[in-house]
Amino acid sequence: MGLAVGARRERLGIEVVVDPLGLARDSLMMDLQLAFWPSIEACEITAGWRHESEVLGAGYRHDELAVLGANVVVRHTSSLRLKFGAELAVSLVRHGGGLRRDVLPMRAADVGRGAEIVFHLRYDFTGRL
Protein backbone atom coordinates (compact mmCIF):
# COMPACT_ATOMS: atom_id res chain seq x y z
CA MET A 1 0.00 0.00 0.00
CA GLY A 2 1.31 3.45 -0.78
CA LEU A 3 0.49 7.12 -0.54
CA ALA A 4 1.50 9.25 -3.49
CA VAL A 5 1.70 13.04 -3.74
CA GLY A 6 2.56 14.70 -7.00
CA ALA A 7 1.92 17.16 -9.76
CA ARG A 8 0.63 16.52 -13.25
CA ARG A 9 0.41 18.47 -16.49
CA GLU A 10 -1.59 16.92 -19.33
CA ARG A 11 -0.21 13.37 -19.72
CA LEU A 12 3.01 13.76 -17.71
CA GLY A 13 3.51 13.80 -13.97
CA ILE A 14 5.95 13.42 -11.12
CA GLU A 15 5.18 11.95 -7.71
CA VAL A 16 6.70 10.92 -4.43
CA VAL A 17 5.37 7.64 -3.02
CA VAL A 18 5.75 6.42 0.57
CA ASP A 19 4.62 3.27 2.36
CA PRO A 20 2.81 4.39 5.54
CA LEU A 21 2.84 0.85 6.97
CA GLY A 22 6.65 1.01 7.06
CA LEU A 23 6.46 3.10 10.23
CA ALA A 24 4.94 0.12 12.07
CA ARG A 25 7.71 -2.15 10.74
CA ASP A 26 10.53 0.34 11.46
CA SER A 27 11.36 0.47 7.77
CA LEU A 28 11.10 2.97 4.92
CA MET A 29 10.05 2.69 1.29
CA MET A 30 10.07 5.89 -0.75
CA ASP A 31 9.87 6.39 -4.53
CA LEU A 32 10.45 9.27 -6.87
CA GLN A 33 8.56 8.43 -10.05
CA LEU A 34 7.81 9.99 -13.39
CA ALA A 35 4.44 9.08 -14.84
CA PHE A 36 2.96 9.01 -18.32
CA TRP A 37 -0.77 8.58 -18.98
CA PRO A 38 -1.44 7.00 -22.41
CA SER A 39 -5.14 7.65 -21.79
CA ILE A 40 -5.95 10.61 -19.60
CA GLU A 41 -7.69 8.93 -16.63
CA ALA A 42 -7.62 5.15 -17.12
CA CYS A 43 -4.01 4.03 -16.72
CA GLU A 44 -0.45 5.21 -16.26
CA ILE A 45 3.09 3.99 -16.88
CA THR A 46 5.71 4.88 -14.27
CA ALA A 47 9.49 4.79 -14.04
CA GLY A 48 11.70 5.96 -11.22
CA TRP A 49 13.93 5.33 -8.24
CA ARG A 50 13.05 3.56 -4.98
CA HIS A 51 14.87 3.73 -1.67
CA GLU A 52 14.13 1.02 0.89
CA SER A 53 15.65 0.69 4.34
CA GLU A 54 15.12 -1.67 7.24
CA VAL A 55 16.76 -2.45 10.57
CA LEU A 56 19.36 -5.16 10.11
CA GLY A 57 22.24 -6.15 12.36
CA ALA A 58 24.26 -3.12 13.42
CA GLY A 59 22.04 -0.50 11.79
CA TYR A 60 19.92 0.12 8.74
CA ARG A 61 20.33 -1.78 5.48
CA HIS A 62 19.55 0.40 2.45
CA ASP A 63 18.51 -0.77 -1.00
CA GLU A 64 18.46 1.48 -4.09
CA LEU A 65 16.22 0.18 -6.89
CA ALA A 66 15.22 1.18 -10.41
CA VAL A 67 11.44 0.79 -10.86
CA LEU A 68 9.22 0.37 -13.94
CA GLY A 69 5.48 -0.07 -13.48
CA ALA A 70 1.94 0.26 -14.72
CA ASN A 71 -1.19 1.30 -12.82
CA VAL A 72 -4.90 1.14 -13.55
CA VAL A 73 -7.03 3.87 -12.00
CA VAL A 74 -9.88 2.19 -10.14
CA ARG A 75 -11.65 5.33 -8.97
CA HIS A 76 -10.90 9.03 -9.25
CA THR A 77 -11.97 12.59 -8.60
CA SER A 78 -10.19 15.66 -9.97
CA SER A 79 -7.15 15.24 -7.69
CA LEU A 80 -7.55 11.91 -5.83
CA ARG A 81 -7.04 8.52 -7.44
CA LEU A 82 -7.20 4.97 -6.15
CA LYS A 83 -4.82 2.89 -8.28
CA PHE A 84 -3.91 -0.78 -8.53
CA GLY A 85 -0.74 -1.78 -10.30
CA ALA A 86 2.39 -3.84 -10.69
CA GLU A 87 6.04 -2.86 -10.74
CA LEU A 88 9.31 -4.48 -11.65
CA ALA A 89 11.94 -3.28 -9.18
CA VAL A 90 15.62 -4.09 -9.81
CA SER A 91 18.09 -3.60 -6.98
CA LEU A 92 21.17 -1.68 -8.11
CA VAL A 93 23.00 -1.02 -4.82
CA ARG A 94 22.62 -2.42 -1.28
CA HIS A 95 24.61 -0.93 1.57
CA GLY A 96 24.71 -0.44 5.36
CA GLY A 97 23.62 -2.63 8.25
CA GLY A 98 27.17 -3.75 8.96
CA LEU A 99 27.22 -5.87 5.80
CA ARG A 100 29.34 -5.52 2.69
CA ARG A 101 28.15 -3.26 -0.12
CA ASP A 102 26.49 -5.10 -3.00
CA VAL A 103 26.42 -3.55 -6.46
CA LEU A 104 24.43 -5.45 -9.03
CA PRO A 105 26.39 -5.91 -12.27
CA MET A 106 24.24 -4.90 -15.17
CA ARG A 107 24.44 -8.22 -16.99
CA ALA A 108 21.23 -10.00 -17.96
CA ALA A 109 22.25 -13.16 -16.05
CA ASP A 110 22.51 -11.24 -12.75
CA VAL A 111 19.32 -9.20 -12.87
CA GLY A 112 17.09 -11.99 -11.49
CA ARG A 113 18.97 -12.06 -8.18
CA GLY A 114 18.04 -8.47 -7.36
CA ALA A 115 14.65 -8.17 -9.07
CA GLU A 116 11.13 -8.41 -7.71
CA ILE A 117 7.63 -7.90 -9.03
CA VAL A 118 5.44 -5.92 -6.65
CA PHE A 119 1.65 -5.59 -6.78
CA HIS A 120 0.25 -2.58 -4.99
CA LEU A 121 -2.76 -0.48 -4.10
CA ARG A 122 -2.01 3.22 -4.00
CA TYR A 123 -3.86 6.39 -3.00
CA ASP A 124 -2.65 9.22 -5.20
CA PHE A 125 -3.13 12.94 -4.44
CA THR A 126 -2.09 14.68 -7.66
CA GLY A 127 -2.51 18.36 -8.37
CA ARG A 128 -2.82 19.54 -11.96
CA LEU A 129 -0.52 22.27 -13.26
Domain span at residue 72 reads 2-128
What is the C-alpha to C-alpha distance for residues 24 and 83, in angstroms, rounded to an integer?
23
pLDDT at 86 over 70: yes
Q: What is the DSSP letter of 99?
A: S
Please give the residue that has the higher pLDDT: either 65 or 74.
Answer: 65
pLDDT given for residue 85 in this prediction:
92
Question: Which whole number is the average pLDDT over 18-29?
Answer: 81
Q: How many domains are contained in the chain? A: 1
C-beta separation of 16 from 2 below 8 A: no
First to last CA, the chain: 26
Question: By C-alpha distance, which of 80, 90, 68, 84 is closest to 124?
Answer: 80
| pLDDT tens track for 94-106 | 888 777 777 765 5
- Average pLDDT for 51-58: 82
| Per-residue confidence (pLDDT) for residue 111, from 0 to 100 | 54
Report residue 66's pLDDT band, with 50, 70 and 90 as the boundaries.
very high
